[in-house]
């Protein structure tokens, strides 16, 4: 399992691995926001938690179609499926690798972009906490979507259509934590809900992902 994780990380960091693309996308979206809504700092302060969450979510979505498709194309998935590793473990590791290469950088970059969007002072810590807690769910749910569409030639758009509705609860609670944090409100309830969704998704979705992957491999 560690071998698979190390390989995926290595592949992501090597040339053409796509590491940093999500981060760059996040940056660009954030920069474009003031151009579209205007530069008033009070307005930006109000919308910044939500905009940053949405940007992070879209950046996560961007790299999903490579998550399993590359291994599918070169036959690695067939070989992994016949290897001693259970497919549930394979998809979990894949999701973890996706989080480390996409989700984690977003979490770390979010405060910097928060400065650009005039995020209120108390909001920074909650933005990071909510993203750190929410992005693993985005990766796991995304892996499920990738497993559903892995055999399709033009799966990218369909993948977005399938995954985005599944992202709704995570987005609502995650952005709520960041939003309430920014205006110094109590954040316990949405934070616990967010943690619950992430825990549930991480615990259960790999089984669904592995099941649909098996169907797609046959």
- Compute the least distance from the CB of residue 30 to another protein, in Å: 23
Instruction: Find the binding residues for another protein in span 33-92 (CB under 8 A).
Output: 71, 73-76, 78-85
Between residues 52 and 71, which has the closer beta carbon with respect to another protein?
71
| Phi, psi torsion values for 38, nearest 5 degrees | 100, 155
- Using the structure block, give the residue that is written with the tokens 């969704």: 197
Question: Which residues, at least 6 apart from 113, have a Cβ–Cβ distance to it below 8 Å?
Answer: 26, 27, 30, 52, 55
- Compute the least distance from the CB of residue 118 to another protein, in Å: 23
Out of 30, 197, 202, 206, the residue judged to bind another protein by CB under 8 A: 197
- Compute the least distance from the CB of residue 5 to another protein, in Å: 11
3-state SS, the chain, equals CHHHHHHHHHHHHCCCCCCCHHHHHHHHHHHHHHHHHCCCHHHHHHHHHHHHHHHHHHHHHHCHHHHHHHHHHCCHHHHHHCCCCCHHHHHHHHHHHHHHHHHHHHHHHHHHHHHHCCCCCCHHHHHHHHHHHHHHHHHHHHHHHHHHHCCCCCHHHHHHHHHHHHHHHHHHHHHHHHHHHHCCCCCHHHHHHHHHHHHHHHHHHHHHHHHHHHHHHC
- Compute the least distance from the CB of residue 100 to another protein, in Å: 17
Out of 116, 151, 156, 195, the residue judged to bind another protein by CB under 8 A: 151
- Give the chain's end-to-end CA distance (angstroms, integer): 23
- Count residues near another protein (CB under 8 A): 52
Is residue 164 within the footprint of another protein (CB under 8 A)? Answer: yes
Between residues 108 and 203, which has the closer beta carbon with respect to another protein?
203
- Compute the least distance from the CB of residue 175 to another protein, in Å: 9
Out of 190, 191, 198, 202, the residue judged to bind another protein by CB under 8 A: 190
Is residue 218 within the footprint of another protein (CB under 8 A)? Answer: yes
- Compute the least distance from the CB of residue 80 to another protein, in Å: 7
Task: Name the site residues for another protein (rule: CB under 8 A).
Answer: 2-4, 7, 10-11, 14-17, 71, 73-76, 78-85, 144, 148-149, 151-152, 155, 158, 161-162, 164-166, 168-169, 172-173, 176, 189-190, 193, 197, 205, 208, 211-212, 215-218
């Amino acid at each position: 399992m560690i071998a698979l994780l190390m390989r995926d990380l290595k592949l992501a960091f090597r040339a053409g691995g796509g590491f940093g693309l999500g981060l760059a996308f996040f940056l660009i979206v954030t920069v474009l926001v003031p151009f579209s809504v205007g530069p008033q700092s009070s307005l930006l302060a109000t919308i910044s938690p939500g905009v940053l969450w949405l940007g992070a979510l879209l950046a996560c979505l961007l790299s999903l179609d490579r998550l399993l498709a590359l291994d599918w194309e070169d036959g690695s998935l067939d070989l992994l499926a016949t290897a001693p590793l259970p497919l549930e473990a394979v998809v979990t590791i894949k999701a973890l690798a996706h989080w480390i290469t996409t989700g984690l950088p977003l979490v770390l970059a979010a405060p910097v972009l928060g400065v650009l969007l005039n995020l209120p002072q108390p909001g920074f810590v909650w933005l990071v906490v909510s993203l750190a807690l929410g992005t693993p769910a985005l990766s796991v749910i995304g892996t499920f979507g990738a497993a559903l569409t892995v055999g399709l030639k033009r799966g990218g758009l369909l993948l977005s259509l399938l995954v985005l509705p599944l992202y709704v609860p995570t987005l609502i609670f995650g952005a709520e934590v960041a939003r309430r944090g920014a205006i110094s409100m109590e954040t316990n309830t949405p934070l616990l809900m967010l943690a619950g969704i992430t825990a549930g998704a991480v615990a259960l979705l790999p089984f669904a992902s592995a099941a649909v992957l098996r169907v797609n491999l046959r």
